[in-house]
């Protein structure tokens, strides 16, 4: 670490009259968080103070419960030779499941001084002299693109938020377009750090900031995140459909980022008694995924149903969350026509022989009437009468041959009629 710059005891002082006016107006209006929509911001930092730096901290602020997963807090060197500008001098990767507290805060800091001086415990602990006392940029970067300690940033990384602190070096460099705080006009040296004039108010301007107290006074307000009971997230499938007689299933899942989903329940409207939950697997631990299957039985009637699935957790103050989807049972398609001879084929055959003159026109109506009678018995489900009329048709065709029906035509119609009778 670089040696600290000599510092006089500074007094807290605003960066500008504009900053003071912003604070007054917003305080009167009761504004407590950013209007910019940023879910997580660097809100306050104490980088240097009297004595050994055992009370350094970085305070984050934003939407209560906002995720920190996939974020890293880095410090980027800003001084020139013998230092290398752009070098990462500090990095913390936030653990999966990390999030801002119920009060919207999260504190990274040294528990030694924070406990002794401010009587708070940081959410993530760091050691003594974690930060250098020279020009540097503090940034929240996506973990995937953040260089490791000793690596060098390109400047093209896209930060979630950033702020710079300057010791006044004319060639010093800062990164990501961060507003730069310092040097402290009360001392002319590197500032103790800075805090936003109003928690979470971010216009990407230096006027958002005022100086921290080098003497560890009460104007420094390190605030750890309070517990936040994050809600369950439950996921249902898209609307599904199947046809009657065919079973179907679809997966559902639930996760509690800071708790354990232990099971599911389901309500079906209207309830056919054939749609149910199965294969329920509770989450193995906090933040893990619980799964189940919605099963649609093959005997489910044709209709449309709404399925509401509710996931439950094991918190002392139990939580639940629901999602819903539709299930549509469609009528089964009609069965395919039976293989082999059909009545339609017999009708087509008789019509063709009548048209070709193989059936005398004066006798054609006899065959047509008989065929119409056969069709009525078939439609009515009168199987015995249907078969009897088919046999009568065969006899009639053969009886009219060869005088009024060509013999070959009569034989063909009679054979087909007997096949239908036996089918």
In whole angstroms, give the CA distance from residue 226 to residue 291.
30
Backbone angles phi, psi at 412, to 5 degrees: -65, -45
Q: What is the distance between the alpha carbons of residues 234 and 176, in angstroms, rounded to a whole number?
A: 37
Q: What is the pLDDT of residues 44-77, one digit of tens each?
A: 999 999 999 999 999 999 999 899 999 999 999 9
Task: Report d(CA 125, CA 55) in Å as an integer.
Answer: 11
Give how far the C-alpha of residue 2 lies from the chain's centroid of Cα atoms, to the nearest Å. Answer: 45
Four-residue CA torsion sign, 36, 40, 42, 44:
positive
User: Residue 25: what pLDDT?
Assistant: 30
Looking only at the bridges linking them, the beta strands covering 275-281 and 289-296 are: antiparallel
What was the pLDDT predicted at 339? Answer: 66
With a CB cutoff of 8 Å and minimum separation 6, the contacts of 351 are: none
The model's pLDDT over 229-288, given as tens digits with 9 standing for 90+, comes to: 888 999 999 999 999 999 999 999 999 987 899 999 999 999 999 999 999 999 998 889
Query: Helices then strands (H, E): number in the chain?
Result: 6, 19
| Mean predicted lDDT score pLDDT of the chain | 89
More confident residue, 187 or 235: 235
- What is the Cα–Cα distance from 314 to 319, expressed in whole angstroms? 8
Cα(144)–Cα(146) distance, rounded to whole angstroms? Answer: 6
Task: Please name every residue paired with 62 in a beta bridge, in sequence order, or none if there are none.
Answer: 40
Give the closest residue to 62 by CA, choosing from 90, 37, 29, 87: 37
Q: What pLDDT, on the 0 to 100 scale, is given for residue 20?
A: 34
39-60: burial string, b at 16+ Cβ within 10 Å, e else: bbbbbbbbbbbeeebbbbbbbb
What is the arithmetic mean of pLDDT over 328-333? 90
Say whether pLDDT at 399 is over 70: yes
Whole-number percent of the chain with pLDDT over 70: 90
Full set of structural domains in the chain with CATH: 17-211 (2.60.40.1260), 233-330 (2.60.40.10), 343-422 (no CATH)
Q: What single string gives the DSSP state of each residue in 91-130?
A: EEEPPTT-B--TTSEEEEE-HHHIIIII----SEE--TT-
pLDDT digits 0-9 by tens, 83-108: 999 999 999 999 988 999 989 999 99
């Amino acid at each position: 670490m670089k040696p600290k710059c000599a510092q006089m005891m500074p007094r807290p002082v605003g960066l500008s009259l504009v900053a003071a006016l912003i604070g007054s107006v917003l305080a009167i209006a009761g504004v407590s968080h950013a209007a910019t929509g940023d879910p997580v911001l660097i809100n306050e930092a104490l980088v240097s103070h009297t004595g050994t730096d055992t009370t350094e901290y970085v305070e984050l602020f934003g939407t209560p419960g906002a995720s920190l997963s996939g974020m890293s807090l880095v410090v980027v060197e800003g001084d020139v030779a013998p230092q290398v500008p752009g070098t990462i001098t500090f990095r913390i990767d936030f653990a999966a499941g990390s999030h801002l507290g119920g009060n919207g805060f999260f504190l990274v800091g040294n528990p030694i001084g924070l406990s002794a001086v401010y009587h708070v415990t940081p959410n993530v602990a760091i050691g003594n002299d974690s930060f250098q006392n020279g020009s540097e940029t503090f940034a929240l970067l996506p973990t995937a693109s953040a260089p490791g300690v000793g690596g060098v940033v390109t400047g093209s990384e896209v930060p979630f938020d950033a702020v710079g602190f300057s010791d006044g070096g004319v060639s010093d460099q800062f990164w990501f377009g961060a507003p730069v705080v310092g040097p402290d006009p009360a001392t002319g040296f590197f500032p103790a750090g800075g805090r936003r004039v109003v928690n979470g108010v971010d216009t990407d301007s230096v006027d958002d900031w005022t100086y921290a107290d080098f003497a560890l006074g009460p104007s420094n307000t390190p605030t750890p995140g309070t517990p936040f009971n994050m809600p369950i997230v439950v996921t249902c499938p898209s609307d599904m459909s199947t046809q009657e007689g065919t079973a179907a299933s679809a997966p559902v899942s639930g996760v509690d980022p800071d708790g354990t989903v232990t099971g599911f329940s389901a309500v079906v409207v209207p309830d056919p008694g054939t749609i149910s939950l199965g294969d329920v697997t509770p989450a193995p631990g906090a933040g893990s995924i619980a799964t189940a299957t919605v099963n649609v039985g093959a005997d489910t009637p044709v209709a449309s149903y709404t399925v509401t699935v509710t996931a439950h957790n094991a918190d002392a103050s139990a939580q639940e969350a629901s999602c819903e989807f539709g299930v549509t049972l469609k009528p089964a398609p009609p069965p395919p026509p039976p293989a082999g001879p059909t009545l339609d084929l017999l009708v087509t055959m008789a019509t063709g022989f009548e048209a070709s003159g193989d059936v005398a026109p004066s006798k054609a109506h006899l065959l047509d009437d008989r065929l119409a009678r056969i069709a009525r018995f078939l439609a009515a489900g009168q199987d015995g009468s249907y078969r009897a009329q088919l046999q009568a048709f065969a006899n009639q065709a053969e009886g009219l041959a060869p005088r009024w029906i060509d013999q070959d035509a009569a034989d063909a119609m009679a054979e087909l009629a007997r096949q239908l009778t036996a089918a």
